[in-house]
Structure 1
Amino acid sequence: MSSNPDDKLPPQGRLTRLRKLAGLSAQLGTEVLKSGARRLAGQESELLSKGMAEKLVATLGDLKGAAMKFGQAVSMDPDLLTPEVRKVLARLQNQAPAMGYDTVARVIREELGAPPEALFREFDRQPLAAASLGQVHRAVLEDGRPVAVKVQYPGVGDSLQGDLDNLGMVVKTVSKTSKIMDGTSYFQELREEFLLELDYLREARLCQGFARSISRLPDLKVPDVIPERTAQRVLTLELLEGQTLKDWVVTAPPPEERFRVSRQLIRAIYGPFFCAGEIHADPHPGNFMVLKDGRLGLMDFGSIKSFSPGFVSANRRLFLQAVQLQPMDILGLSREVGFTIELPEAEAEELIHEILRIAGRSMRSSAYDFTTCEVSRDLKRHFAKNAARFLKIRPPPEAVMFFRSTGGLAQNLRLIGAQGDFRRVYQEVADLLA
């Protein structure tokens, strides 16, 4: 390892980052082609080898920014990769290569006016976690309170901007080919949300707001903000004690614990959305913590998304009717949510109805088993089979973050593999709206 304290900072320059990604893409493409050839020959072959996964972790971890966010998303998909490969990629969730302590101290001094030693009674030089935009250090305030201090990587804003500009060129090129292939509004939504995550003062406000949004859910915990130790690139929060979801699940918890944590996850995503119109839109397993006192801790609030009242209201009615097994006006509610539908009504209704039927399986069953859940796989098959027609059913841009959150929830529930009466859990969420 280099002795340079800045050797783990994200590479700068849009072209530099593009070259690194291009090189990785070439290696990845070669491996996928080889895998496809082996499958055509009737041989068993995984899409991605453990060796290639290690290369992905090394490159995306060094790049950080949007590239690393992509790796985090891939690591959550249970149907795409083997458990062994996903375990390697899961390191991107909070174990990226860390920046040196000298750089950490410099950022804190620039943002808070003094070095860590002057601001905290204790400050661990080794990070607790290192992720896409910053890394977290354990510290202790002068009054003895343990805290988590998130410090942003210098230059990561430019890196993120460069990644998004590179991706934007691809989206723009594809969108020019056809109106129905136009993804610019969805990309713009993601772009704006990702760039907002760079402002830790904003994240502090969102954290405080989200604490209010879950106030009726005492089994959830949002850490307190320490305002006097927070600035644009430094965020100090109460330290939560426990295991991240990805670490907890490998301890083989008993069935009742799996069900309890799954229930908490469902409440953590849907409760704030239906009650306060906002959602945690970055739900990878490193952002949830099973606390020692039994509560579920939530972390990383830069991607809290607030929705328009109409979007929330229509989704609330759709949810209540689904839980209560009532007939619903599928097309009417879809349009109220903000969908644009350019198919014959009967055809569109059939396609959307099948989505709701697949996605709502656990809502309709008093004995659902997430260990054998195939919701994500069946949804992918449904979309793939009807790809051309789905291009004519377009959700509103704000739905992108909603789907990111609820899709991540489904993957987390599959990861936990709980069994039980999940219909009752969704009914509990519905009762919050009474």
Structure 2
Amino acid sequence: MASDSDDSLPPQGRFNRLRKLAGLSAQLGAEVLKSGARRVAGQEQELLSKGMAEKLVATLGDLKGAAMKFGQAVSMDPDLMTPEVRQVLARLQNQAPSMGYETVARVIEAELGAPPEALFHQFDQEPLAAASLGQVHRAVMKDGRPVVVKVQYPGVGDSLQGDLDNLGLVVKTVSKAAKAIDGTAYFRELREEMLLELDYRREARLCQNFVRGVARLPDLKVPEVMDALTSGRVLTLELLEGQTLKDWVVTEPSAEERFRVARQLIRAIYGPFFFAGEIHADPHPGNFMVMKDGRLGLLDFGSIKSFSERFVDANRLMFLQAMKLEPMDVLGLSREVGFTVDLPEPEAEALIRELLSIVGRPMRSEAYDFAACEINRDMRRHFTQNAGRFLKIRPPAEGVMFFRSTGGLMHNLKLISAKGDFRAVYMEVADLLA
């Protein structure tokens, strides 16, 4: 058996990881400053070069944990990087450096009481995918059912805790220096959710529960959990056959296929939220499977967020009123969602209405083109231009995961570049709520 010196495992020690990140940050900062100076001088200059992106992938992929999750999020934003650079960064979505098979076998035996060869009819030694907290192997159960087995990296819990502690110090320092940008509540929410992802038994329960949210959506598929082969650090699920969204989109699917999958993605995010108060809050393209039978498979249930009844009910009412083009009490509903508003009401209402107008473009259009979608860019611009005032409109902490999910949905829809009657798609969801 291999020792814990497997060099594909995340580096241990909070300060060792901080040192690696600090070195990367210095290089990254120098490049961004250089590109910024060239832009000021009127020269076309990309924010990040392909070479720097390669360094970013190598470092974050080795670190895994929270650092890699950050890289995954950055790779999804089409407005920040060129297609070439995003293609490099996209490797973080499920192609991080893998741990050796001997380490995998040791974790499985420690968790399930026997090595893979004794538990499965067949177990592929090469990983199918490698991600931020663990890697996935294809296997066949004794009864012939094909499955995937997710095995957690040894030591990744300590690594994740260390990353979050380092980030927490930054958040705490900034919040003390400027009360107006106190982000401690939002960071606490994100921290708690990320640490919960380490428990694969919890993920198994979330996966089983998520079936309720898609029960009325037969074009979506949640894999079955194999309880007998699941533990705190090993998760065995039914194998879904198909291509992940990021692999499917490069096969040049037809316009009809793009619209069909885009429709399924919208239903996959908003359906479970409105029906069961849950949302898939890690929506990068590696977590959705375009299946051979036409359904959309959902993968990775470690980041399923359950919301308060108040949050869901207020958002549901806001959504239905928007779809029916009814007058909306913007401030009243925002407060009901949990927002704190410290601006004069007319000023706050104007800011929120503009925000809802930007987000709601596909809901109002019978011929919306996501290839030309500028929702995320325009939202960023709206926030930047009104930064001081938006600091006085604070969402509830649970909103962090909601915005992470719906923002990721917009990135995925732009990635697919679908065009069509999306108002009709959102109306389908609204009709199911009637």
1:385 corresponding residue in structure 2: 385
How far, CA to CA, are the matches of 1:96 and 1:37 in structure 2? 33
1:217-267 deviations in Å (ceiling 9; x for gaps):
000000000000000000000001100000000111000000000000000
1:75 corresponding residue in structure 2: 75
List structure 1 runs of 4+ shifted beyond 6 angstroms.
2-5
The answer as to 2:151 corresponding to 1:145 is no
Distance 1:4 1:307, change over 3 A: closer
Matches within 5 A, 1:325-340: 325-340=325-340
1:163 corresponding residue in structure 2: 163
How far, CA to CA, are the matches of 2:302 and 2:295 in structure 1? 21
Distance 1:3 1:119, change over 3 A: closer
1:84-110 deviations in Å (ceiling 9; x for gaps):
000000000000000000000000000
2:181 corresponding residue in structure 1: 181
1:301-347 deviations in Å (ceiling 9; x for gaps):
00000000000000000000111111100000000000000000000
Superposition RMSD in Å? 1.1
Distance 1:108 1:4, change over 3 A: closer
How far, CA to CA, are the matches of 2:213 and 2:382 in structure 1? 34
* Secondary structure in structure 2 of the residue aligned to 1:243: strand
Distance 1:4 1:202, change over 3 A: closer
**What letter is aligned with 2:353?**
H
How far, CA to CA, are the matches of 1:39 and 1:119 in structure 2? 58
Kept in 2, the 8 Å contact 1:5–1:100? The answer is no
Offset at residue 44 of structure 1 (A): 1.3
Offset at residue 114 of structure 1 (A): 0.1
How far, CA to CA, are the matches of 2:3 and 2:286 in structure 1? 29
How far, CA to CA, are the matches of 1:201 and 1:4 in structure 2? 24
1:136 corresponding residue in structure 2: 136
The answer as to 2:75 corresponding to 1:57 is no
How far, CA to CA, are the matches of 1:178 and 1:40 in structure 2? 29
2:320 corresponding residue in structure 1: 320
Q: Which sections of structure 2, spanning at least 5 residues, go unmatched?
A: none
1:274-303 deviations in Å (ceiling 9; x for gaps):
010000000000000000000000000000
1:13-68 deviations in Å (ceiling 9; x for gaps):
00000000000000000111111121122221100000000000000000000000
1:241 corresponding residue in structure 2: 241
1:288 corresponding residue in structure 2: 288
Matches within 5 A, 1:80-159: 80-159=80-159
Kept in 2, the 8 Å contact 1:5–1:101? The answer is no
Offset at residue 116 of structure 1 (A): 0.1
1:177-219 deviations in Å (ceiling 9; x for gaps):
2322110000000000000000000000000000122011000
**What letter is aligned with 2:366?**
S
* Secondary structure in structure 1 of the residue aligned to 2:218: coil
**What letter is aligned with 1:396?**
P
* Secondary structure in structure 2 of the residue aligned to 1:300: coil
After superposing the two structures, state which structure 1 stretch, 397-406 or 211-220, moved more: 211-220
Kept in 2, the 8 Å contact 1:160–1:195? The answer is yes
1:199 corresponding residue in structure 2: 199
* Secondary structure in structure 1 of the residue aligned to 2:400: helix
1:341 corresponding residue in structure 2: 341
1:415 corresponding residue in structure 2: 415
**What letter is aligned with 2:101?**
Y
1:150-185 deviations in Å (ceiling 9; x for gaps):
000000000000000000000000000232211000
**What letter is aligned with 1:364?**
R
How far, CA to CA, are the matches of 1:377 and 1:34 in structure 2? 23
Q: Which sections of structure 1, spanning at least 5 residues, go unmatched?
A: none
How far, CA to CA, are the matches of 1:345 and 1:4 in structure 2? 58
2:308 corresponding residue in structure 1: 308
How far, CA to CA, are the matches of 2:377 and 2:325 in structure 1? 24
How far, CA to CA, are the matches of 1:184 and 1:279 in structure 2? 23
* Secondary structure in structure 2 of the residue aligned to 1:6: coil
Distance 1:122 1:152, change over 3 A: same
* Secondary structure in structure 1 of the residue aligned to 2:293: coil
2:10 corresponding residue in structure 1: 10
2:356 corresponding residue in structure 1: 356
Offset at residue 3 of structure 1 (A): 11
**What letter is aligned with 1:23?**
G
2:256 corresponding residue in structure 1: 256
Kept in 2, the 8 Å contact 1:315–1:337? The answer is yes
Distance 1:5 1:136, change over 3 A: farther
How far, CA to CA, are the matches of 1:359 and 1:33 in structure 2? 31
1:425 corresponding residue in structure 2: 425
* Secondary structure in structure 2 of the residue aligned to 1:127: coil
How far, CA to CA, are the matches of 1:431 and 1:57 in structure 2? 43
Offset at residue 4 of structure 1 (A): 8.7
* Secondary structure in structure 2 of the residue aligned to 1:125: coil
